[in-house]
Amino acid sequence: MAPSFDEPIDCLPLIPEDVLKKHACHEPLDTRFRSAARLLQSIWRSDRGLPIGSYVGEDKKRKALGSRISVAAGRAGGNFLTSEIAHVARRESAYRELGAMIDEGRLMTNLLSSHPLTLNLLSPLKLELAQATCALHELIPSFAGTATQVLFEHSPGRGNPRFLGDYTAFDALIRYRTPEGRYGFVAFEVKYSESMREPVPQMRNRYDEVSEKSGLYHDPSDPALRANPLQQIFREHLLAATLVDEDVYSEGYFLVVAPALNHHVQQAAETYQTLLAPPDERKVRFLNITLEQMIAVIRLCDSAHADALHRRYCDWWLVDGEIELAAPAFGSIAKPIVRKAATGADTSEPEKMTRANRVSV
């Protein structure tokens, strides 16, 4: 059902092709969510005056893409909400962990990527650990502790058989200390426009060993855990479990964060929860948190940061506004163009909406 202007948007529209082409966002293979997200990123780029980027298609031709910025703009930190976040991103990329997989091109120029989203979301918490502590208390009802460090693209040991023996890693991890002096963690997997259909890596015997030992699942041998759309969540939850089993930490949580309207991620997370055994404080607990919930929590400590996140990633009324701007006037019928010389022709045009007229909630 189409939303009223005083209500939240709970279903994204199918965007007309001409609107997508106008913003250099027409990608026929996009999911419904990704199409809307790509347009939203293009609007954000345009409103900030960032030059458009490009990519080389399968036909070997370079094509402008509204959801990317130029390499020069990327190097200047254009993919990040503030100069402070851009500074964190540059240092995290330079000091990445051994074996960390960071595509610097995507990080710096791809507005749609979840990697810069992770940094835009959590870098201010790294810079202000008191805010990180506040956020964790709000997000996790059972949380008791004080944040001590925020890590990005983190694994306790890539390729180390003590853990999973592979290159699985978290997008971010917040370390904390409990009132009793023990140490725990909150690991994050952050999604934006993903459809949970990435290539499936080789399933290892180590996954079977850890899943059986962890006590996390009703049936640790369930094939659904090892296939899309669940396999990445499964592997990261197992990695989190090894952090407790190997006594690196005393306790922990694993959070998936994604937009509420990305139904691919939301359905995967909800299905995954049905395969879990009842929650146990001795196990790494799983939580599915929407991006909107994260932003609401951040707003309690930093309204400017929350506003910037909402405008960049979740303000779907801007997408609605672009569709309305492109809609023809009611009852108008396109007339064929007659190419002839004429004098005294009426060249006036009906008043058009400008971007400032758009409704943004």
The mean pLDDT value for 307-331 works out to: 92
DSSP string, 11-55: SPPPPPHHHHHHTT---TT--HHHHHHHHHHHHHHHHTTPPEEEE
* pLDDT given at position 280: 86
DSSP string, 79-123: TSSSHHHHHHHHHHHHTPPTT----HHHHHHBTT-HHHHHHHHHH
Going 224 to 227 to 228 to 234, the CA torsion angle's sign is positive
The mean pLDDT value for 189-218 works out to: 96
- Give the other-Cβ count within 10 Å of 138's Cβ: 16
pLDDT at residue 345 greater than cutoff 60: no
Q: What number of CA atoms fall less than 13 Å from residue 93's CA on the CB side?
A: 18
Q: Report pLDDT digits (tens) over 54-98.
A: 999 888 889 999 999 999 999 999 999 999 999 999 999 999 999
Q: Percent of the chain, pLDDT > 70?
A: 91
* pLDDT given at position 358: 41
* pLDDT given at position 241: 97
Report residue 82 as tokens. 């503030």
Q: What is the mean pLDDT of the chain?
A: 92
pLDDT at residue 352 greater than cutoff 60: no
pLDDT at residue 325 greater than cutoff 60: yes
Q: Report pLDDT digits (tens) over 12-34.
A: 999 999 999 999 999 999 999 99
130 compared with 333, residue with greater pLDDT: 130
- Cα separation, 341 vs 117, in Å, equals 54
- Cα separation, 360 vs 351, in Å, equals 20
- Cα separation, 289 vs 14, in Å, equals 25
